[in-house]
Amino acid sequence: MVPYIAGYSEEALLNPRIVQHPLFPGVVYADETPHDRDSFGMLWVRPTLLPKHRRGEPRLREVHPYRQRRCMAHMMCQVCTRPPENLDAPSLFLLRDTGGPVQEGERTASPPVCVPCAGISIQLCHALRRDHYVAARVEHAPAWGVAGLVYDPDTLTPLPGKELERVEYGTERAPRTVAARTVVALYGVTPVDLDEEFAQLGMDRLEEEFARVAGLVGAGR
Ligand SMILES: [Zn+2]
Protein backbone atom coordinates (compact mmCIF):
# COMPACT_ATOMS: atom_id res chain seq x y z
CA MET A 1 0.00 0.00 0.00
CA VAL A 2 1.68 3.19 -1.17
CA PRO A 3 0.12 6.54 -0.23
CA TYR A 4 -0.39 8.99 -3.09
CA ILE A 5 2.07 11.53 -1.64
CA ALA A 6 4.92 9.03 -1.13
CA GLY A 7 8.09 9.42 -3.15
CA TYR A 8 9.64 6.85 -5.54
CA SER A 9 13.23 5.92 -6.28
CA GLU A 10 13.27 7.44 -9.79
CA GLU A 11 11.69 10.74 -8.75
CA ALA A 12 14.87 12.60 -7.84
CA LEU A 13 14.88 16.36 -7.51
CA LEU A 14 16.43 18.21 -10.42
CA ASN A 15 19.11 20.79 -9.68
CA PRO A 16 18.31 23.93 -11.67
CA ARG A 17 20.89 26.71 -11.33
CA ILE A 18 19.92 29.25 -8.67
CA VAL A 19 20.77 32.91 -9.23
CA GLN A 20 20.05 36.20 -7.46
CA HIS A 21 16.72 37.91 -7.99
CA PRO A 22 17.42 40.93 -10.25
CA LEU A 23 15.42 43.38 -8.12
CA PHE A 24 15.46 42.41 -4.44
CA PRO A 25 17.16 40.00 -2.01
CA GLY A 26 15.83 36.72 -3.24
CA VAL A 27 16.54 33.77 -5.49
CA VAL A 28 15.25 32.67 -8.90
CA TYR A 29 16.11 29.85 -11.28
CA ALA A 30 18.34 30.85 -14.18
CA ASP A 31 15.88 29.14 -16.54
CA GLU A 32 12.77 29.74 -14.46
CA THR A 33 9.32 29.23 -15.98
CA PRO A 34 5.87 30.06 -14.53
CA HIS A 35 5.53 26.37 -13.58
CA ASP A 36 8.26 26.83 -10.98
CA ARG A 37 6.04 29.02 -8.78
CA ASP A 38 2.81 28.33 -6.93
CA SER A 39 -0.21 30.65 -6.86
CA PHE A 40 1.39 32.53 -3.92
CA GLY A 41 4.47 33.28 -6.01
CA MET A 42 6.75 30.90 -4.10
CA LEU A 43 9.58 29.23 -5.96
CA TRP A 44 9.37 25.41 -5.77
CA VAL A 45 11.83 22.56 -6.09
CA ARG A 46 11.73 20.79 -9.45
CA PRO A 47 10.89 17.11 -8.92
CA THR A 48 11.04 14.60 -11.74
CA LEU A 49 7.52 13.93 -13.01
CA LEU A 50 7.05 10.39 -14.25
CA PRO A 51 4.09 8.16 -15.12
CA LYS A 52 3.48 5.68 -12.34
CA HIS A 53 4.96 2.65 -14.12
CA ARG A 54 8.32 4.43 -14.49
CA ARG A 55 8.66 5.76 -10.95
CA GLY A 56 10.64 2.82 -9.57
CA GLU A 57 10.43 1.62 -5.98
CA PRO A 58 8.27 3.44 -3.41
CA ARG A 59 10.08 5.45 -0.76
CA LEU A 60 7.55 5.62 2.03
CA ARG A 61 9.55 8.08 4.14
CA GLU A 62 9.79 10.53 1.26
CA VAL A 63 7.13 12.93 0.05
CA HIS A 64 6.68 14.05 -3.54
CA PRO A 65 6.51 17.86 -3.37
CA TYR A 66 3.95 18.35 -6.14
CA ARG A 67 1.66 15.57 -4.96
CA GLN A 68 1.81 16.94 -1.40
CA ARG A 69 0.99 20.42 -2.72
CA ARG A 70 -1.90 19.07 -4.81
CA CYS A 71 -3.42 17.32 -1.78
CA MET A 72 -3.20 20.50 0.30
CA ALA A 73 -4.60 22.71 -2.47
CA HIS A 74 -7.71 20.53 -2.85
CA MET A 75 -7.90 19.04 0.67
CA MET A 76 -7.63 15.57 -0.90
CA CYS A 77 -6.80 12.46 1.11
CA GLN A 78 -3.01 12.02 1.03
CA VAL A 79 -3.37 8.23 0.67
CA CYS A 80 -6.21 7.69 -1.86
CA THR A 81 -6.78 11.26 -3.20
CA ARG A 82 -10.46 11.26 -2.26
CA PRO A 83 -11.66 14.90 -2.33
CA PRO A 84 -13.83 16.35 0.47
CA GLU A 85 -17.53 15.51 0.22
CA ASN A 86 -18.33 19.16 -0.21
CA LEU A 87 -16.43 22.42 -0.04
CA ASP A 88 -17.66 23.20 3.48
CA ALA A 89 -17.03 19.76 4.94
CA PRO A 90 -14.41 19.71 7.69
CA SER A 91 -11.25 17.78 6.86
CA LEU A 92 -9.74 15.04 9.00
CA PHE A 93 -6.09 15.49 9.95
CA LEU A 94 -4.01 12.73 11.49
CA LEU A 95 -0.82 14.05 13.03
CA ARG A 96 1.98 12.57 15.07
CA ASP A 97 1.37 13.08 18.76
CA THR A 98 3.87 15.68 19.91
CA GLY A 99 2.47 15.89 23.40
CA GLY A 100 -1.21 16.79 23.28
CA PRO A 101 -4.23 17.25 21.04
CA VAL A 102 -4.15 19.26 17.81
CA GLN A 103 -4.08 22.96 18.71
CA GLU A 104 -6.10 25.80 17.22
CA GLY A 105 -3.85 27.49 14.65
CA GLU A 106 -1.37 24.58 14.63
CA ARG A 107 0.55 24.29 11.37
CA THR A 108 1.21 21.11 9.45
CA ALA A 109 2.68 19.86 6.19
CA SER A 110 0.72 16.60 6.42
CA PRO A 111 -2.36 16.71 4.13
CA PRO A 112 -5.77 15.42 5.26
CA VAL A 113 -6.85 11.79 5.23
CA CYS A 114 -10.26 10.19 4.74
CA VAL A 115 -11.60 8.02 7.59
CA PRO A 116 -10.75 4.62 6.02
CA CYS A 117 -7.26 5.80 5.10
CA ALA A 118 -6.79 7.02 8.68
CA GLY A 119 -7.39 3.40 9.70
CA ILE A 120 -4.97 2.12 7.09
CA SER A 121 -2.32 4.68 8.08
CA ILE A 122 -2.48 3.80 11.75
CA GLN A 123 -2.02 0.13 10.94
CA LEU A 124 0.68 0.49 8.30
CA CYS A 125 2.61 3.65 9.08
CA HIS A 126 5.47 2.88 11.45
CA ALA A 127 5.96 6.50 12.45
CA LEU A 128 2.32 6.84 13.54
CA ARG A 129 2.36 3.49 15.31
CA ARG A 130 5.55 4.20 17.18
CA ASP A 131 4.94 7.79 18.20
CA HIS A 132 1.18 7.56 18.50
CA TYR A 133 -1.09 10.02 16.79
CA VAL A 134 -3.73 12.65 17.34
CA ALA A 135 -6.71 13.18 15.05
CA ALA A 136 -8.94 16.20 14.59
CA ARG A 137 -11.60 17.53 12.29
CA VAL A 138 -10.68 20.94 11.00
CA GLU A 139 -13.11 23.46 9.54
CA HIS A 140 -10.56 25.67 7.79
CA ALA A 141 -7.04 24.84 6.74
CA PRO A 142 -5.79 27.87 4.78
CA ALA A 143 -2.35 27.76 3.23
CA TRP A 144 0.03 29.46 5.68
CA GLY A 145 3.34 29.10 3.89
CA VAL A 146 5.80 26.45 2.86
CA ALA A 147 8.52 24.22 4.19
CA GLY A 148 11.66 24.65 2.16
CA LEU A 149 15.32 25.56 1.97
CA VAL A 150 16.10 29.19 2.78
CA TYR A 151 18.99 30.58 0.72
CA ASP A 152 21.52 33.25 1.49
CA PRO A 153 20.95 35.62 -1.47
CA ASP A 154 24.63 36.63 -1.49
CA THR A 155 26.32 33.23 -1.42
CA LEU A 156 23.37 31.41 -3.08
CA THR A 157 23.79 28.53 -0.65
CA PRO A 158 21.15 27.29 1.79
CA LEU A 159 21.35 28.74 5.29
CA PRO A 160 22.70 26.21 7.77
CA GLY A 161 20.19 24.56 10.06
CA LYS A 162 17.25 22.28 9.76
CA GLU A 163 16.81 20.76 6.36
CA LEU A 164 13.33 22.11 5.70
CA GLU A 165 12.37 25.32 7.40
CA ARG A 166 8.82 26.63 7.69
CA VAL A 167 8.42 30.01 6.03
CA GLU A 168 5.24 32.08 6.06
CA TYR A 169 3.99 33.65 2.82
CA GLY A 170 4.84 37.32 2.49
CA THR A 171 7.63 37.31 5.06
CA GLU A 172 11.18 38.53 4.48
CA ARG A 173 12.45 34.97 4.01
CA ALA A 174 9.83 33.98 1.44
CA PRO A 175 11.67 35.34 -1.65
CA ARG A 176 14.81 33.51 -0.52
CA THR A 177 13.11 30.15 -0.09
CA VAL A 178 12.84 27.18 -2.42
CA ALA A 179 9.68 25.41 -1.28
CA ALA A 180 9.23 21.65 -1.00
CA ARG A 181 5.92 21.41 0.92
CA THR A 182 2.80 23.48 1.44
CA VAL A 183 2.14 24.22 5.12
CA VAL A 184 -1.43 24.92 6.23
CA ALA A 185 -2.78 26.33 9.51
CA LEU A 186 -5.59 24.45 11.24
CA TYR A 187 -8.64 26.36 12.53
CA GLY A 188 -11.98 25.22 13.91
CA VAL A 189 -10.27 22.20 15.44
CA THR A 190 -12.35 19.44 17.05
CA PRO A 191 -10.52 16.41 18.46
CA VAL A 192 -11.68 13.11 16.96
CA ASP A 193 -11.82 9.64 18.48
CA LEU A 194 -11.00 7.49 15.47
CA ASP A 195 -12.35 4.30 17.03
CA GLU A 196 -15.74 6.03 17.21
CA GLU A 197 -15.43 7.13 13.59
CA PHE A 198 -14.66 3.57 12.49
CA ALA A 199 -17.58 2.24 14.55
CA GLN A 200 -19.91 4.81 12.99
CA LEU A 201 -18.84 3.78 9.51
CA GLY A 202 -19.47 0.12 10.40
CA MET A 203 -17.19 -2.83 9.84
CA ASP A 204 -18.70 -3.84 6.48
CA ARG A 205 -18.39 -0.37 5.03
CA LEU A 206 -14.86 -0.07 6.39
CA GLU A 207 -13.86 -3.35 4.70
CA GLU A 208 -15.40 -2.12 1.45
CA GLU A 209 -13.48 1.12 1.75
CA PHE A 210 -10.20 -0.71 2.43
CA ALA A 211 -10.81 -2.73 -0.74
CA ARG A 212 -11.56 0.46 -2.68
CA VAL A 213 -8.35 2.12 -1.51
CA ALA A 214 -6.27 -1.00 -2.18
CA GLY A 215 -7.74 -1.12 -5.69
CA LEU A 216 -6.99 2.54 -6.33
CA VAL A 217 -3.49 2.40 -4.96
CA GLY A 218 -2.72 -0.83 -6.83
CA ALA A 219 -4.19 0.31 -10.15
CA GLY A 220 -1.93 3.34 -10.41
CA ARG A 221 -3.21 6.84 -10.98
ZN1 LIG B 1 -8.28 8.10 1.59
Asked whether the predicted pLDDT for residue 98 surpasses 70, the reply is yes
Asked whether the predicted pLDDT for residue 24 surpasses 90, the reply is no
Q: Across residues 109-125, what is the average pLDDT?
A: 89
pLDDT of 206 = 84
The rounded Å distance from CA 185 to ligand 1 centre is 21
Higher pLDDT, 45 or 200: 45
- For the stretch 41-87, pLDDT in tens is 999 999 988 998 999 999 988 999 999 999 999 999 999 999 988 87
The rounded Å distance from CA 41 to ligand 1 centre is 29
pLDDT of 32 = 96
CA torsion sign for 108, 218, 83, 174 is positive
The rounded Å distance from CA 154 to ligand 1 centre is 44
pLDDT of 218 = 60
Higher pLDDT, 113 or 126: 113
The rounded Å distance from CA 4 to ligand 1 centre is 9
The rounded Å distance from CA 98 to ligand 1 centre is 23
| Strand pairing class (143-152; 157-158) | antiparallel
Separation of alpha carbons 171 and 179, rounded Å: 14
pLDDT of 127 = 67
pLDDT of 130 = 64
The rounded Å distance from CA 198 to ligand 1 centre is 13
CB 47, CB 181: distance < 8 Å = no
Q: How confident is the model at residue 1 (pLDDT cuts 50, 70, 90)?
A: confident
